[in-house]
Amino acid sequence: MQLTITGKQTDTGDALRRHVEASLGSILGKYFKTAIEAHVVFSKEAHMSRAEISLHIGRGIVVNAGAAALETYTAYDAAAERIAKQLRRYKRRLRDHHAKAREPMEASERARDYVLAPIAEEPEEDAGGGPAVIAEMSTVLPNLTVSEAVMRMDLADTRVLLFRNRSHGELNLVYRRADGNIGWIDPELDPTRRTRHREA
């Protein structure tokens, strides 16, 4: 596994690197031995230290976790514990996914992913009516079941995931609601939409 450790206003000496290598080695040895790469970023937030871990463990599967604490090692250990908890929760399903990954890969669909600037409280006259595009990149729309989409969203520690539903081919969206539950948007389940498709 390729490991990258970055420090932003934080010293990442040999002792910290050895701690990260031993910790990730232990976690991956227990739950998922074939990780491709790992990125660990240490930074300062006021008087707190922050650790962000990102593991690329298989085709399209990224596991993210972060934590903040007064000490750098404590922040890292808390983030690593979250990674371990996620891998423990999905251990069996990840192994099944890894076995399927050896099968020939189906054609993936690509889309554009944009990062927009926040909208100012008082819009400027010449802004053109919309926020400025800060970044633009290409992303893959995975072909998943709903449960696989929820698992990937949870592992990546994101609030939303757009995917193509494997059962009927429509675009679907899963998202984490403010109450902690998962929401699922599926246009195929809209009966009025289905009747319009049949008439067309």
> Along the 200 residues of the chain, how does pLDDT read in single tens digits?
889 999 988 888 899 999 999 999 999 888 877 788 999 999 998 889 999 999 988 777 889 999 999 999 999 999 999 999 988 888 877 766 545 544 444 556 778 777 777 776 655 555 566 778 878 878 878 888 999 999 999 998 889 999 999 888 889 999 999 998 999 999 876 666 554 444 44
Cβ-based neighbours of 32, under 8 Å, separated by 6 or more: 57, 87, 91, 94, 95, 98
Residues of the chain with CATH 3.30.505.50: 107-199
As assigned by CATH, the class of the 2-100 domain is alpha beta
**Distance, CA of 165 to CA of 145 (rounded, Å):** 6
pTM exceeds 0.85 for this model: no
Q: Which CATH code for domain 107-199?
A: 3.30.505.50
Residues of the chain with CATH 3.30.160.100: 2-100
The residue type of 5 is I
